[in-house]
Amino acid sequence: MHSLAISTPGLIALTAVVTAAIIYLIILAVRLTQRPRNRPAPSADLVEQARELKAMGQLQEAVFLVRGETGMSHRAATRFVNRL
């Protein structure tokens, strides 16, 4: 009868692949929970206020305004203000 023996290097490789896949899935799940996709779009009034602050050279204030009104991360709000 033929046995299903796995060599030590093969077992190590299999363990590494399974471990990497599990780590990837955990990282993916964490990223998806941190980025809700159904956020409402910023209002036209908010966009106008942020534009005015940016035009006056008050970038940080514009970013804080956008963050406070939308719940965006600092990075996302900074990108949003820079694109105005």
* Residue 46: per-residue pLDDT: 94
Exposure letters 53-84 (e unless 16+ CB within 10 A, then b): bbeeeeeeebbbbbbeebebeeebbbebbeee
Select from 45, 47, 72, 43 the least CA-distant residue to 62. Answer: 47
* Residue 11: per-residue pLDDT: 86
pTM (global) more than 0.75: no
Average confidence score pLDDT of the chain: 87
Average pLDDT over residues 22-42: 81
| C-alpha span between 74 and 80 (Å, rounded) | 10
Q: Residue 22 above 90 pLDDT?
A: yes
Q: Residue 50 above 90 pLDDT?
A: yes
Which helix (H) or strand (E) covers residue 26, if one does?
A: helix 8-34
More confident residue, 38 or 11: 11
